[in-house]
Chains A and B, each alone.
Chain A
Amino acid sequence: DSGVTQTPKHLITATGQRVTLRCSPRSGDLSVYWYQQSLDQGLQFLIHYYNGEERAKGNILERFSAQQFPDLHSELNLSSLELGDSALYFCASSPETGSSSYEQYFGPGTRLTVT
């Protein structure tokens, strides 16, 4: 158990819908990352938050957005869902302080299926 929790574990929804994925980082970790794992794209970085502020964006679609709250949990919002958004979405947290790159501990993931 990495200490990172993600809910829900599975999500099945229809095209055009909107969903919210939730992540709670390990105790004390200020950084939260979101990654998408799909068969055709592999594991891809989406976005990074550090202590409530957006730090970096990767290949994140405009239909997707995220935020990190004062209690450090994070949410990833996916809207106008398409079939191609079906994937495993991981959240990871890290103890990094901003001056070095530390290991990231991953949650169990949320498997999203868009039908």
Chain B
Amino acid sequence: AQKVTQAQTEISVVEKEDVTLDCVYETRDTTYYLFWYKQPPSGELVFLIRRNSFDEQNEISGRYSWNFQKSTSSFNFTITASQVVDSAVYFCALSEGETSGSRLTFGEGTQLTVNP
């Protein structure tokens, strides 16, 4: 069965610090997809990134970067020079395209608080 673990329940940093959110996944499929979503205090879920299991290239988008390592089943998310507006709950999610369709299995989420 698929599983996503976000071991960090809460992280608190001061503005401009870099912060990395950890995500470890379990799956038996060879084809799968990984996602990160942001849930700000307003409650909506905002899509950040999608990565398929065959693409291990790291990705950078502005202050956000993602490190996908198949060998350790991890898909970590780094925010560089954090800002107060980054305060939110961040969810890592997994979709096993072959066995479970496209349903997303979410981790427990990491509450990030960026203090001024």
Q: Which residues of A contact B (CB under 8 A)?
A: 2, 31, 33, 35, 42-45, 48, 55-56, 58, 88, 90, 92, 94, 96, 100-109, 111
**Given the complex of chains A and B, what is the CA–CA distance between A29 and B50 in angstroms?**
17
10 A-B residue contacts at CB 8 Å? A2-B47, A43-B104, A44-B106, A55-B101, A56-B102, A94-B102, A100-B97, A103-B47, A106-B37, A107-B44
Q: Is the CB of A90 within 8 A of B102?
A: no
Q: Identify which of A2, A31, A35, A111 contacts B102 (C-beta below 8 A).
A: A31
Q: Select which of A42, A102, A106 is within 8 A of B50 by beta carbon.
A: A102
Closest to A104 in B: B104
Q: Which of B32, B43, B52, B100 contacts A56 (CB 8 A)?
A: B100
Please determine whether A48 and B103 come into contact, CB atoms closer than 8 angstroms: yes
Interface set, chain B 36-92, CB cutoff 8 A to A: 37, 43-47, 50, 52, 91
* Chain A residue contacts of B46, Cβ below 8 A: 2, 106
Q: Which of A58, A102, A106, A108 contacts B103 (CB 8 A)?
A: A58
Query: Do residues A88 and B104 form an inter-chain contact, with CB atoms below 8 A?
Result: no
Residues B47 and A109 in contact, CB atoms below 8 Å apart:
no
Residues of chain A within 8 A (CB-CB) of B106 are 42-44
B37 contacts which chain A residues (CB < 8 A)?
106
Residues of A within 8 Å of B50, CB to CB, are 102-103
Q: How far is the CB of B21 from chain A (nearest CB, A)?
A: 16
Cβ proximity bits B6-48 to A, threshold 8 Å, 1 near / 0 not: 0000000000000000000000000011010100000111110
Nearest CB of B to A48, in Å: 6
Cross-chain contact A45 with B105 (CB below 8 angstroms):
yes
* A101 pairs with B102, CB closer than 8 A: yes
Q: Report the minimal beta-carbon distance from A16 to chain B, rounded to whole angstroms.
A: 27
A70 nearest CB across to chain B (Å): 22
Residues on B with beta carbons closer than 8 Å to the beta carbon of A43: 91, 104, 106, 109
